[in-house]
Chain A
Amino acid sequence: MTTTSATLNKKARWPIFIALLLLAASVIYPFFFLITSSLRPKLDYLENPLGLPGEWTFDNFIALWTRYGAGQGFMNSLFVVVTAVAIELVLATLAGYALAKYPVPGSKFITASFVSVMLIPSQVLILPIYLMLSQFRLVGDFSGLILVYVATGLPFSVFFLSVTFRSIPNEVLEAAKLDGAGFFRTLWSVVSPMGVAGIATLAVLQFLGKWNELLFAVILLPDNSKRLLTPALAQIGDKFLNEQPLVSAGLLLTASVPLLLLAVASQYIMRGLAVGVSR
């Protein structure tokens, strides 16, 4: 298809362009507002909330990072999410490759159960998982939450990667085998490089999902010292709602990582979301 469709005449294009522009402005404006209000002192904000700052400052971010626990939360989030995504990718790559290319006994049943557990909403899991983890004394410990994040992400990851790896031609794998490469060697130097786009897509999607997760993070890490960023922000937003500049800084800090990811990996994110439709 060419870049322009022949369905509308030229004159009709201007109103459409303007409508789309207005809509884009309504999406962008809140971000613009957050940026300007986070960069000014509270008094300056109260004088003229809708205008531009009369005085620019980074104090809100500094206070937020050091005194309101957001710095600690940011680091905690980064640690938990990166660890969970890494473990999940390793397990999902192993399982996805085996399901795609090996005669795993009961593979139809295994795939079907992975697909059907994707439906389980986290509300159903939260009480039993809390009780289980508290029995192992893992509530309030990063490892408990990491385990839960790995488990809840795996069904989709395995499904996604088995679809990705299935498109690798069998001849390539046979060739690797003739060269004497075993399971791990083939997986590491043939399958992973060929499926790298799929793996990257999955990594980005899973990172976003876990970074933004609230329910498990609130319940499984109740101590303030171990709080992740998203629940920490929820707390700050609740306690200091009238400190708009501070809360704006918190919102921007929490949103910064997903937005940065979108900026550098938008093609992966869009690709991954398209898979969601076909399943």
Chain B
Amino acid sequence: MFYFRYLGAELRRRKGRTVLTATCLALGVGLVVAVTALSAGLDEAQSEVLEPLTGVGTEMSVSRPMEIEQGGAPPDAGGGPIGLDDLGRAGEKFDTYRYVSTDTSFPAAKRKRVAAVDGVDATAVGLTLSVAHVSGVVPEQSASASSPAAGAPPTGSSASGGPPDSINFDTTIVSGVDTSNPDLGLLTASQITDGSYIAGTGDAVVSQSYATQEDLAVGDTVEVGGKDFDVVGISSGAVGGQPSDVYVELGRLQKLADLEGRVNSVEVRASSAGEVGAVSGRIESAFPGSEVTTSSDLADQVSGSLVDAKNLSGKLGTALAVVALIGAFGITTLVTLSSVAKRTRELGTLKAIGWRQWLVVRQVAGESVLQGLIGGLLGVAVGLAAAAAIGAAGISLDASLAPASGMPSPPGGGAPPGIGGPPGADAAASVASTVTLGAPVSPGVALTAICLAVAGGLIAGVFGGMRAARLRPAEALRSLG
């Protein structure tokens, strides 16, 4: 068709204009592709970080955080404060376990109330406790120090029966897992990186970080509440998972902690991912006092260079892409307008020899749209190259996740009440992870980029076409006096 030959001839034989507009659009669109790819890469990195929780389909975790008054002991903190009087007479040895949680426990049967909520697909109960093992020699003490306030450690001067280091303290975060459903709950089968899932009441799975810390491997034994468990598996210790050290069968932990029939979390999978927000609200209404932690809440808790990069990409990257795109559109429009001005005689001649106005406008707009298409294809190539460069750079981002609500992290430095702050009690408060940044370009993004460039060409074409439409055919004869 003649008109296509004319379009092709204009683009081919006015190379400078074609290259300039196509390059401008290519750079603008390429930047959009690169920023979008970077953003997608950062989203993937965050998903990877959150995968241990969200990847298994557990979109929500329901707990009942207890109300804690300033300076007072929690009313249900797993046995209350440890008074030195309770341990025995001064100078006597003691060895005791305390089970602590900041979440109020509730009967496991309450799960039904959560399960009955509209939009809930599946539920699994769990019990997570901080197991404090306290042993040593009972120090001598003054009357005023007999009942210290929760979380307030006794000072060395007030304990005269022995040096403070005569008391050994260590704490382990232990979760009781509802093993009837290995796909949902505090520990899922997919999280096992070595060994196997919990099969019996004497089995335990330890987290990767705890296994490293305690030098444990599958086949070893681990002590929980004075009882030995067989380590049958190691679970992934990535950020986002419930950061427990040891996982055992739920009934066993309930018995050890003297909390038979009670749990302190319900893991919930929603029928549809889009309904998480609504279901979360309904659960909180159906289960008074409960708090629902969703995966998006978790996303908000991620911190580290991943978040910085996300913020940078989200704000600066997007702004840069928008500015570049507007700039490219602007330059393309100016080049088109300038071209129309330079071609006054040519376009006037077309009108003089009988081209209808819309044919002239179509010609000018068609050239711009075609330039946009070329710019879009080039831009996608530029964007793919930039994305490949980001991937090849192998940039590492670190991320850390604060513990989800429901994890034992008592106020006052994490120490169980009544006992001096032990070292390492905050170890489980957050888990760090490192992810490598990629920049995937989806076909949809590439197509959108091409459409954007074509739209840029179209905008320029509309302006150019409007100017061409205003040209009078008599312009073709203007050169005469």
Do chains A and B interact in one complex? no
- Chain A interface residues toward B at CB < 8 A: none
Q: Which residues of B contact A (CB under 8 A)?
A: none
